[in-house]
Chains A and B, each alone.
Chain A
Amino acid sequence: MGKPTDLVQGTLDLLILKTVALAPMHGWGIAQRIRQVSKEVLQVNQGALYPALHRLEQQGWIQAKWGESENNRRAKYYSLTRDGAQYLRRQQAQWNRLSGAIDLVLETT
């Protein structure tokens, strides 16, 4: 396994939004899930995770609610807002266009 890839600037927001879109989740869970789903390739820098969560909350894309975690601790759960869902769709479409374009360039030999 090589060195975990650093996240491209700005993609962390996209990953967070996508992750909480599935189910409300707390910060630690979001980081774990991104790691698992990406098969250990994407390592979320934990120091950057929380400022990002707070920023997305301030912007109204996600909202937070306190709840019980699986091991009965009080945890802050983040979920996607309606505006956040729209925002996610837009961002995802943009990402697809971008990565598709990069693929095209790279595959042209």
Chain B
Amino acid sequence: MRLYYKLPLRFLSLFRKPEAEQELNDELEFHLQYQIDEYVRQGMQPEEARYAALRALGRLQQVKEECREMRNVNFIENVLQDLHFGLRMLRRSPGFSLLAILCLTIGIGANAAVFSWIEGILLRPFPLVVGQERLMAVTGTNRASGERTGVSWPDFLDLQKNCKLFDAFIVDKIMGATLNVGDHATRITGSVVSANYFDALGIRPIVGRGFELEEDYGRNAHPVVVIGYHMWQDRFHGDPQIIGKTQILGGQPHVIVGVAPEGFQGTFVGWAMQFWVPVSMQERFVPGGYQLEDRTADWIEAFVRLKPGVTAEQAQAEISAAAKRLEEEYPATNRGRGIKLYPLWQTPFNNAGTLLPTLSIALCVVVFVLLIVCANVSNLLLVKAFGRRHEMTVRLAMGARRGRLLQQLLTEGLILSTIAAIGGLILAHWTRNLLVLLLPKRGGTAMYLPGAVDWRVLALSTAACLVSTLLLGLVPAIHTGKLDLASALKAESGGVVGGRRRALAQSSLVLVQVALSFVLLVGAGLLLKSLRAVQNTSPGFLTDVITTWIDTKSAGYDKQRTLTFQDELIDRLQVVPGVQSAAFGRIGAFTYGVYSSAAIAADGYVTAPGEQPVIDYDEVSPGFFNTMGIPLVSGREFTRADNETALPVAIVNEAMAAQLWHGQDAAGRRIQVKGRWLQVVGVAKVSKYRTLIEPPRSFFYVPMRQSLVGAGLYIRTSLPATALASALTREVHALDANLASGEMITMQEEINRSTAVQHIAVNMLGVFGGLALLLAGVGLYGVMSYAVSQSTRELGLRMALGARAADLLRLVMSQGLALTMAGVALGGIAALALSRLLGYLLYRVSPRDPLAFVMAFAVMTLAALLACFMPAWRATRTDPVRALRD
């Protein structure tokens, strides 16, 4: 082991330097003594012998230095020295250091924050769940409609049985329940999960147990519940005897069998789950009745865990083959239906899918910002590097190797970016919950969208830091590389040589900044225009209608009692002063609730082979269209006469009428839904049902017959929400003191929740675009100021020859603008290529929208004018006499 010899030596050289030095001196002294003795023996005088010996050894100091060099301590020592020197340089110009570190902290911090969001929301979104990289989301597909569906429970069991590449199939269907507390009802969010849920995810309840396998089976046979840690703490005050107690959920007492560990939020990106019930309880919680034996009831959202080493492609191939077999085996229910797997970050049924485009754009934006910041700090360093040209030249002249200078410059860059990276990570830690704050609250739902600063985020941030170090060191380093000793020393007094080259480097850095800023501005403009287009889109109903919900089911009402209660409440509300009308709807527009959908047959409509129209519908009470302000183009509203005993009726929208009967009058025709024929009694205008940006879609309404997990209550009123809230509570309590209504908001707020993602994207691009613009402006200002200060003589000469102030102003301004235009041209090309990435978020705006480009151009030009004006104005103040004399 040579290390055995080497390590103590290194140690000695580094930490016991005086001793090592002394040993070196002793050794050489010993040598000299011997040589002197030798020469004396040969007959020299002692004095003469000493000189001879010294001559023979060569230059003593140089030998010593070479010995030291051989000891190899220099590298480490150099690093320490560079660090020391670098820190001293930074301390000496605190303004510069602070500015540079601030810029870099913003750059690296923005990156770290977005990394942490992507990590915590998209890549590993479920705290405490083991092996998330092997989890995939599962949905059904419908070839006819091309839309994503759920999976039915019988299909799910068959897939699980027939696939070999999976460790686990996990059902996880989000749903809600209502806790009535005093005069306010709180909605809590839970999941219907398969019994293997906790075991498959590696979650061990801290009290009690998870579910047992037989709890998946039997209609409503296992009213058991595992509650979340926070529900345990808040509602049951951490009661250690909680197991065996009951809680009414979905109108039925459920036995609490377990408590999930703290930090486990369930497996729904964005929301924290508060309780879990097994699949056997589906009928209580999932709308649409008992569905566990129905292959057409595709209510399940699910995850699978792949076996180790299985690729996504192999898994998809196997599950597709299994789905194909189901199609052949059960053609009546399964024809045209498949199964699709998604990586977690593309999960379509939770907020991962919603946030994915925003987060990818955020990633592009922050990388741009980091580049701009690096260009800006490079520019600052360049100015300093020129200030230090003399130092560098002297060091080169004294025999420093260029590599050594490079090491010094990189160390200085590293100090800056390391401090900034630490600041950036702190910034990322602070902003990890920012997305939750940006997203609008939903009453009663615990939002959970944390960024996670883990080792992967640390590693990526370190990488960002190293990349910026290289970028920072690069420009001054290239300059040092080109430093020509003779001319640099000579030119020191002249003070202009190198100016050209420096101006070139600075100009190209500014060019990059202008180009990148322009791209961000175009993006911001496009998103802003898109957001305006979204906001100007009419939803097709009145947005000042106030909505809330009342859950009679949780209070144990049966269907008939619910309908009676609803009628009585409407009657009472109609006579409240200020209330114009009120109505119930089961799902309601823009809520997270999923509309029921049904395969449709119709009079006079021939289904093409392989085609099966599947259309969403909602259940609404009499007066719904009047209350919501959705116009009926023909026919009538539902009335209380449209009850269970009367002829079944439906109201279709215009798009559905056009789809089925090509615009001929629909009233009086019949549609078949789930085996029942319904008489169309009215045609409603198309409105928006899920999002503002959806295209006009077919939709129909049926009279309200049942309500699960509460029904939406819509009230058209001139009263403010607070006044209405007390009136509503009074009327509800007059009917039943155990009931309460939930959160009360206007439809406009409901809509705003659905456009939150666009808002976030606009804000982000706006903020960072503005920041980029500022940085680019500062860069441009620096370049122009330098150019003016360097060409005083030329300016003076021009003035002496008769140029007026306006001419000089124009001269300098045109130079700055030329630089800007070049950057804008470059950025324009990049923006044309990149703006397509915004695709999904752009609504009724082309990615090449000329207005956005013109706006970005105008803003950039304005900023350039501002940045150039000061230097230009200074140019006009040149004193020709002094300029020429100097």
Contact = CB atoms under 8 A, between A and B. Distances in A.
Interface of A: 26-28, 45-47, 50-52, 54-55, 57-61, 63, 66, 69, 71, 73-76, 81, 83
A50 B6 contact: no
Nearest to A62: B5
Contacts of B35: 28, 46
Contacts of A28: 30-31, 34-35
A11 B214 CA distance: 84
Given A46-B57, A74-B26, A75-B30, A51 B66 contact: yes
A58 B58 contact: no
Contacts of B639: none
Interface of B: 1-6, 9, 23, 26-28, 30-31, 33-35, 37, 56-59, 62-63, 66-67, 69-72
B63 A60 contact: no
Contacts of A54: 67, 70-71
B62 A58 contact: no
Contacts of A45: 58
A54 B27 CA distance: 11
A7 B169 CA distance: 78
Given A46-B56, A47-B58, A51-B63, A27 B9 contact: no
A27 B58 contact: no
B30 A74 contact: yes
Contacts of A69: 30, 34
B5 A51 contact: no
B67 A51 contact: yes
Given A28-B31, A47-B58, A81-B5, A76 B23 contact: yes
9 contacts: A46-B58, A47-B58, A50-B27, A54-B67, A58-B71, A58-B72, A60-B4, A60-B6, A73-B30
Best-buried of A57, A58, A74 by chain B (most CB within 10 Å): A58
A92 to B, nearest CB: 19
Nearest to B13: A58
A63 B7 CA distance: 12
A102 to B, nearest CB: 30
A63 B9 CA distance: 10
Contacts of B9: 57-58
Given A27-B31, A28-B34, A47 B62 contact: yes
Task: Report whether over half of chain B's contact residues are helix, strand or loop; otherwise say mixed.
Answer: helix
Contacts of B66: 50-51
B831 to A, nearest CB: 57
A51 B69 contact: yes
Contacts of B63: 47, 50-51
B57 A47 contact: yes
A46 B31 contact: yes
Given A28-B34, A51-B70, A60-B4, 17 more contacts: A28-B31, A46-B31, A46-B58, A47-B63, A50-B27, A51-B63, A54-B70, A55-B70, A58-B9, A58-B72, A60-B5, A69-B34, A73-B30, A74-B26, A74-B30, A75-B27, A76-B27
Contacts of A27: 27, 30-31
Contacts of B28: 50
Contacts of A74: 26, 30
Nearest to B33: A73
A46 B3 CA distance: 28
A28 B39 CA distance: 13
A13 to B, nearest CB: 12
A81 B2 CA distance: 9
Contacts of A47: 57-59, 62-63
B2 A59 contact: yes
A2 to B, nearest CB: 19
A34 to B, nearest CB: 14
Contacts of A55: 70
A58 B58 CA distance: 22
A51 B3 CA distance: 20
A76 B6 CA distance: 17
A65 B31 CA distance: 15
A60 B2 contact: yes
A45 B33 CA distance: 17
Contacts of A52: 70
A28 B37 CA distance: 12
A45 to B, nearest CB: 7
Contacts of B70: 51-52, 54-55, 58
A83 B9 CA distance: 16
Nearest to B6: A60
Contacts of A26: 27, 30-31
A54 B73 CA distance: 12
A59 B10 CA distance: 11
A60 B3 CA distance: 7
Contacts of B33: 73
Nearest to B3: A60
Nearest to A59: B2
A75 B56 CA distance: 19
A61 to B, nearest CB: 8
Nearest to A73: B30
Contacts of B57: 46-47
B403 to A, nearest CB: 20
Nearest to A69: B30
Contacts of A71: 37
A20 to B, nearest CB: 14
Nearest to B31: A28
A33 B835 CA distance: 79
A83 B5 CA distance: 10
B175 to A, nearest CB: 71
Nearest to B73: A58
Contacts of B34: 28, 69
Nearest to B68: A54
A83 B26 CA distance: 27
Q: Which 9 A-B pairs have the closest CB atoms?
A: A47-B58, A60-B2, A51-B66, A54-B70, A60-B5, A55-B70, A28-B34, A54-B67, A76-B27
Contacts of B1: 83
A47 B26 CA distance: 16
A66 B40 CA distance: 26
A75 to B, nearest CB: 5
Contacts of B62: 47
Best-buried of B9, B31, B59 by chain A (most CB within 10 Å): B31
A59 B72 CA distance: 10
A46 B56 CA distance: 6
Contacts of A57: 5, 9
Contacts of A58: 6, 9, 70-72
A91 to B, nearest CB: 15
Contact of B26 (A50, A59, A76, A81): A76
Contacts of A50: 27-28, 31, 63, 66-67
A33 to B, nearest CB: 13
A83 B56 contact: no
Nearest to B34: A28
Contacts of B69: 51
A59 B5 CA distance: 8
Contacts of B30: 26-28, 69, 73-76
B11 to A, nearest CB: 12
A66 B22 CA distance: 13
Contact of A83 (B2, B23, B72): B2
Contacts of A73: 30, 33
